[in-house]
Chains A and B, each alone.
Chain A
């Protein structure tokens, strides 16, 4: 594939999402505003009002209805998109499971924000982490450029006939959603060609016909039935199979997109930064990775063998990659911008430790809960993490494996 010329636009994260959606031949956007996602829906409304898109834009009366409408639109054969954050995503909770169970390839941008109570509009990842069991693919962007690229890729990943799972693209609230960057955007035709039109798998209907999987009066079919204990389990197994397939699809789409743009995000699932000869490593998601990389570069000049594993795809969790890339570390700090109360640490910590349990070598792994409610994390604090790691690596027992970074004790 020939590399395509991009031009540069100054966009914040939300604007980049709206722009990517504009270019991706989306049929239906049903959404409800919530800080810090509001710019996505506002910008998109402008596109609609100026006739720049042929998308049906539905301002639903709540997020729960927004996702229900997107789900139904998707099952009718439309390409559907929505966006939310925090309480809005939490309100969608029931429908997240339904969307995944119905195998509808809805794409949703989440401007990651803290959950109430108390009310907080700022960025952390507790909203999407709380939905990790829902059967949605979850991809996290480090910067606005990646946000733009990932939304475009998300349509291909979700709609892949081996996958057919709804997909969340997470961008850190305010840190990315409201921060202006220079973004290389593709020409409209290039995005259109990349996303293509939806392909439908064929299913057997109750009229003994094989038909494309969508609501079509020519091929009556029933979707969303009640499945009793004799069948429900099998549908859940299918969703898990789709998640396994997604591990391959995400890598493949990343590679294909890289051919088109020259931009690749690790292998699509994880990005390793200066990890090959590292002894101490941080694991994190999203924009914090950018700060960590800067700290690593400084530490390297001081001969500290520091590295970073940024997890891009949290669902499906890339167990193989995480195990392979971290097993030879001496000490690992997993940074979680969310907390699973009563669970001894955050979700990324749990899953990283789990990935390493069966490894040949076992680095010491500690957890830093940070950034909750939009609390900023500084390069100095990250440097402190690496200092701690060097002590942990030397075998100094960590009294607490779960620590809090930037908390006033």
Chain B
């Protein structure tokens, strides 16, 4: 990892120019929009952004309008990591031949669920295996939101989407959320981290670390979607906090494969009694409303149990010893 850690105040961040501009067509209260704004605040010099088809891409590039203050390219849904590979290769070649005026240009690839977990996964895995120098940012709103809330590999267990609706027979998605960040750690890549926009300082610092790393970096950012999750637009950031406080979405990083728990989640490792039951997070989300019906009690309990199991596994990986199991009451 490179030298000094970048220190910044909220004022310094607020004063940095906006590179994801107002006037984009994202919904009111859009989590990914806040995420992208904060990511772009972490840039440190000349930057090229490439994005996969999805909410943020469509909302920010309706011809002839654009919300991007950096060079920006969209090609297709599954290709963002391949785009980044091509851009990075081009910059290297041009530099070798003395045709690039910048000493260094950062490349950022941005994608939602689809462009990362599913249709975009092949290109991501390939780009990381080849070791291209770029930062991949996943803004995870846990479904294919742009096309109307269809389930993705990132949709969590029990969530209702339009292709995994909560019906009389099947209570939402029965498959688990693909552990994408851990899959990326298994690629033996230099830097993987999870982040959530409520913890803006942690998110920006991690994005900057990802840019500084030589080689590929992967940042999995939790990004609530009021439209798809059926939550109040005003509570988007609040849900991004609850996800961490219930350990549904713990914050950690893996530097060269070595896990460490990030400060916001460390609280719950050191003081397990502070860990909130998952119901605190699930209630108020329309996509989980059916879980509170009596016939789905078992599923709700499974969700709590699995959350706890995964949390303990993560603590072990992070070298955080727990004295006792966290108290988890089901509601």
List chain A positions with a Cβ less than 8 A from chain B.
Answer: 27-28, 30, 54-56, 58-62, 64-66, 68-78, 80, 94-95, 98, 102, 197, 206, 215-228, 231
Shortest Cβ distance from B59 into A: residue:
A226
- Contact between B83 and A69, CB atoms less than 8 A apart: yes
- Contact between A61 and B90, CB atoms less than 8 A apart: no
Separation of A393 and B73 alpha carbons in the complex (Å): 56
Q: Mark B29-50, 1 if CB is under 8 A from A, else 0.
A: 0000000000000000111101
Contact of A28 with B89 at beta-carbon distance under 8 Å, contacts A58-B130, A220-B71 already known: yes
- Contact between B74 and A223, CB atoms less than 8 A apart: yes
**Which of B120-128, B200-208, B211-219, B309-317 participates in binding chain A?**
B120-128
The number of residues on chain B lying at the interface, defined by a beta carbon within 8 Å of a beta carbon of chain A, is 49
Separation of A64 and B81 alpha carbons in the complex (Å): 12
Contact of A226 with B61 at beta-carbon distance under 8 Å, contacts A60-B126, A73-B86 already known: yes
- Taking a contact as CB atoms closer than 8 A, the residue among A102, A220, A227 that contacts B75 in the complex is A102
Separation of A223 and B74 alpha carbons in the complex (Å): 6
| Those 4 A-B pairs whose CB atoms lie nearest each other, nearest first | A61-B126, A72-B86, A217-B46, A69-B86
**Which of B92-100, B161-169, B295-303 participates in binding chain A?**
B92-100
- Contact between B69 and A73, CB atoms less than 8 A apart: no
A and B contact pairs by CB, cutoff 8 A, 12 listed:
A30-B85, A60-B126, A60-B130, A64-B123, A75-B73, A78-B90, A222-B61, A222-B66, A223-B73, A226-B58, A226-B62, A228-B63
Tell me whether B3 is interfacial, beta carbon within 8 Å: no
- Contact between A62 and B126, CB atoms less than 8 A apart: yes
- Taking a contact as CB atoms closer than 8 A, the residue among A62, A77, A220, A227 that contacts B94 in the complex is A77
Q: Which residues of B contact A98 (CB under 8 A)?
A: 75-76
Contact of A226 with B123 at beta-carbon distance under 8 Å, contacts A76-B86, A80-B86, A217-B102 already known: no
Separation of A222 and B58 alpha carbons in the complex (Å): 12
- Contact between A72 and B90, CB atoms less than 8 A apart: yes
- Contact between B130 and A59, CB atoms less than 8 A apart: yes
A332 CB to nearest chain B CB (Å): 41
Q: Which residues of A contact B236 (CB under 8 A)?
A: none
- Contact between B71 and A228, CB atoms less than 8 A apart: no
Separation of A128 and B52 alpha carbons in the complex (Å): 27
- Given contacts A27-B97, A76-B91, A222-B71, 18 further A-B pairs with CB under 8 A are A30-B89, A54-B96, A54-B97, A56-B93, A58-B89, A60-B85, A60-B126, A61-B126, A64-B123, A65-B123, A68-B82, A71-B83, A72-B50, A72-B83, A94-B76, A206-B65, A219-B71, A231-B64
Q: Which residues of B contact A217 (CB under 8 A)?
A: 45-48, 70-71, 102, 105
Q: Which residues of A contact B96 (CB under 8 A)?
A: 54, 56
Separation of A25 and B75 alpha carbons in the complex (Å): 25
- Contact between A27 and B93, CB atoms less than 8 A apart: yes
Tell me whether B72 is interfacial, beta carbon within 8 Å: yes
List chain B positions with a Cβ less than 8 A from chain A.
Answer: 45-48, 50, 57-58, 61-66, 68-76, 78-79, 81-87, 89-94, 96-97, 99, 101-102, 105, 122-123, 125-126, 129-130
Contact of A224 with B73 at beta-carbon distance under 8 Å, contacts A27-B97, A55-B93, A217-B48 already known: yes
- Contact between A56 and B62, CB atoms less than 8 A apart: no
Separation of A221 and B73 alpha carbons in the complex (Å): 8
Q: Which residues of A contact B45 (CB under 8 A)?
A: 217
- Contact between A225 and B48, CB atoms less than 8 A apart: no
Separation of A311 and B47 alpha carbons in the complex (Å): 45
Shortest Cβ distance from B129 into A: residue:
A61
- Contact between B48 and A69, CB atoms less than 8 A apart: no
Q: Which residues of B contact A102 (CB under 8 A)?
A: 75
B62 CB to nearest chain A CB (Å): 6
Q: Which residues of A contact B61 (CB under 8 A)?
A: 222, 224-226
Shortest Cβ distance from B43 into A: residue:
A217
Q: Which residues of B contact A221 (CB under 8 A)?
A: 71-72
Contact of A76 with B90 at beta-carbon distance under 8 Å, contacts A64-B79, A224-B73 already known: yes
Q: Which residues of A contact B105 (CB under 8 A)?
A: 217
B91 CB to nearest chain A CB (Å): 6
Separation of A60 and B57 alpha carbons in the complex (Å): 24
Q: Which residues of A contact B74 (CB under 8 A)?
A: 223-225
Q: Which residues of A contact B89 (CB under 8 A)?
A: 27-28, 30, 56, 58, 69, 73, 78
B264 CB to nearest chain A CB (Å): 33
Q: Which residues of B contact A215 (CB under 8 A)?
A: 48, 71-73, 87
Q: Which residues of A contact B97 (CB under 8 A)?
A: 27, 54
Separation of A218 and B71 alpha carbons in the complex (Å): 9
B80 CB to nearest chain A CB (Å): 9
Q: Which residues of A contact B87 (CB under 8 A)?
A: 72-73, 76, 215
A327 CB to nearest chain B CB (Å): 43
- Contact between B90 and A56, CB atoms less than 8 A apart: yes
Q: Which residues of A contact B82 (CB under 8 A)?
A: 30, 60, 64-66, 68-69, 72
Q: Which residues of A contact B72 (CB under 8 A)?
A: 215, 220-223
- Contact between A228 and B62, CB atoms less than 8 A apart: yes
B131 CB to nearest chain A CB (Å): 11
Q: Which residues of A contact B63 (CB under 8 A)?
A: 225-228, 231
- Contact between B50 and A220, CB atoms less than 8 A apart: no
B271 CB to nearest chain A CB (Å): 44
Separation of A224 and B53 alpha carbons in the complex (Å): 10
Q: Which residues of B contact A70 (CB under 8 A)?
A: 86
Q: Which residues of A contact B129 (CB under 8 A)?
A: 61
Shortest Cβ distance from B96 into A: residue:
A54
- Contact between B70 and A220, CB atoms less than 8 A apart: yes
Q: Which residues of A contact B99 (CB under 8 A)?
A: 77, 197
- Contact between B48 and A58, CB atoms less than 8 A apart: no
Separation of A28 and B130 alpha carbons in the complex (Å): 15
Separation of A223 and B73 alpha carbons in the complex (Å): 5
B238 CB to nearest chain A CB (Å): 31
Q: Which residues of B contact A197 (CB under 8 A)?
A: 99
Separation of A68 and B79 alpha carbons in the complex (Å): 6
B75 CB to nearest chain A CB (Å): 5
